[in-house]
Amino acid sequence: MTEKHEDGTTRRSFMATGATAVAVTAAGVGIAGVAGSGQRAQGATLPLTPQCTDGDDTPPVIEGPYFRRNSPKRTNLRTTGVSGVLLSLTGFVYNIRCQPLGNVLLDFWQADQRGQYDNSTAQYRGRGHQFTNADGSYTLETIVPKDYPGRTPHIHVKVQAPNGPILTTQLYFPGDTKAYGMNVAQLNARDAYYITDTLIALGPLTSNRYAGKFDFVIKR
Ligand SMILES: [Fe+2]
């Protein structure tokens, strides 16, 4: 398992054993053929995302050095100077009982098509926060970020339900992602922070655009 839970001792008792979690995962692989269906990647042939019913919440990944507070409220990060392979990312935020959560803060930040962060706070390029809709859904219009030294392409995000704890994690891309000449499979394999639990499920590349899906599952 590649999970990096820092607080595994707080998991709910009915999903407390690893044996239970594995059994559910194995049972779910059979129906994991649809992109975006939200199954865990382990044992499956397609890169898929965690699902609330597998008994696990979305694991944390390090914040890294480039988070900036007070990002603009926006769902479209394709602002001036940001271009590349387009990514339309959609999904839901659930609690571990599979209930969709509205009004959850999602604060995204990412590198651009050159693998660079805008670390000034003049324009907050590649940064934006939003709140999930009442049905738990969200949409992010952005680009596929390029890799940078030591890191495979990834999108950072902080997730927080009202008055809830903050989940800080990173979303990753399947190995066959085509953008900027990257060998994403090799980059993923070499990245110390890469985990399959937070892989975005990508559809086909069409007209320079990917549709991606990722569902968050948070303790709430
Ligand atoms: Fe980063």
Side chain identity at 13, as an amino acid letter? S
Res. 29: pLDDT tops 80: no
What are the start-end ranges of the E strands in the chain?
86-95, 105-110, 127-131, 137-143, 154-160, 167-172, 201-202, 209-213, 216-218
| pLDDT score, position 53 | 65
The tens digit of pLDDT for each residue in 117-138 reads: 999 989 999 999 999 999 999 9
CA 111 to ligand 1 centroid distance, Å: 7
The rounded Å distance from CA 133 to ligand 1 centre is 26
Q: How far apart are CA 13 and CA 15, in angstroms?
A: 5
Nearest to 77 by CA among 150, 153, 155: 155
Q: Domain map of the chain by residue range?
A: 8-218
- Ramachandran class of 55: left when φ > 0, alpha when ψ lies in -120 to 50, beta otherwise: left
The maximal CA–CA distance of the chain, rounded, in angstroms, is: 50
CATH of domain 8-218: 2.60.130.10
User: For residue 49, what pLDDT band results from cuts at 50, 70 and 90?
Assistant: low
Distance 93 CA to ligand 1 centre (A): 22
Q: Are 170 and 60 in contact (CB under 8 A)?
A: no
Is pLDDT above 90 for 110?
Answer: yes
Q: How remote is the CA of residue 219 from the centroid of ligand 1, in Å? A: 24
pLDDT at 44: 42
What SS3 class is residue 164?
Answer: coil
- Give the closest residue to 200 by CA, choosing from 187, 218, 213, 183: 213
Q: How far is the CA of 20 from the centre of ligand 1 (A)?
A: 33
Question: Pairing state of beta strands 201-202 and 209-213?
Answer: antiparallel
Give the integer Cα–Cα distance in Å for 156 and 89.
13
24 alpha carbon to ligand 1 midpoint, in Å?
32
Q: Count the Cβ atoms, other than its own, within 10 Å of residue 147.
A: 22
Instruction: Please give the C-alpha separations between residue 210 and each of 84, 142, 151, in angstroms, as whole numbers.
Output: 11, 10, 21
Start-to-end CA span in the chain (Å): 24
Distance 119 CA to ligand 1 centre (A): 11
The pLDDT score that the predictor gives to residue 220 is 78
What integer best gives the mean pLDDT of the chain? Answer: 82
Provide the phi-psi class of 15: left if phi over 0, else alpha when psi is between -120 and 50, else beta.
Answer: alpha
Residue 94 Cα to ligand 1 midpoint, Å, equals 25
Q: Token match 């704890």: residue? A: 165
User: Ligand 1 center to residue 220 CA distance, Å?
Assistant: 26
Output the CA 51–ligand 1 centroid distance in Å: 24
- Ligand 1 centroid–CA 110 distance in Å is 6
